[in-house]
Amino acid sequence: MSVDYDTYLAGVRDTELWAVAWAGDEIAGLATAERTGSRSADSPWVAVRPAYRRQGLALALVTRSLAAMREHGVTYAAIRTVAENPHRTVALYERAGYEVGRRMPRYRKPLTAVSA
């Protein structure tokens, strides 16, 4: 199902907690956050375009988003990632001051095709 831009925008919340980096007319990276309670927030999305990676942009965006959270009364911030992430996000978030609160095991199993 496709959603038009205005409908999408109507559902976007807490943009004052976001950090967005621009390179000319394109977004180089962003860190989004949304409140999960009166004093807590979750960061569901941190992304940097490939051309701008490995330059410290992700850390700057996460740091700026955390500062915006503090400025708006947030006292607890959460973020999730997978340990296997090839961009070493666990180390990135630890550099930003996050601590691992819990590890959740991930399981995988190859499946063979079902014959008809």
Question: Does residue 63 form part of some domain?
Answer: yes
HEC string for 41-81: EEEEEEEECHHHCCCCHHHHHHHHHHHHHHHCCCCEEEECC
Question: Does residue 111 form part of some domain?
Answer: no
Per the structure, the count of domains in the chain is 1
Question: Does residue 101 form part of some domain?
Answer: no
Question: Does residue 5 form part of some domain?
Answer: no
* Cβ proximity of 40 and 77 under 8 Å: yes
Distance CA 36, CA 76 (A): 10
Beta partners for 29?
21, 48
Asked whether residue 115 carries a pLDDT value surpassing 80, the answer given is no
pLDDT in tens, 52-95: 999 999 999 999 999 999 999 999 999 999 888 888 899 999 99
Distance CA 113, CA 70 (A): 51
Name the pTM for this structure: 0.82
Confidence category of residue 1, pLDDT binned at 50, 70, 90:
low
Question: Does residue 18 form part of some domain?
Answer: yes
Confidence category of residue 38, pLDDT binned at 50, 70, 90:
very high
Question: Does residue 114 form part of some domain?
Answer: no
Q: Which domain holds residue 42?
A: 11-95
Question: Does residue 59 form part of some domain?
Answer: yes
Question: Does residue 36 form part of some domain?
Answer: yes
Specify the CATH number for the domain of residue 26. 3.40.630.30
Distance CA 1, CA 19 (A): 28
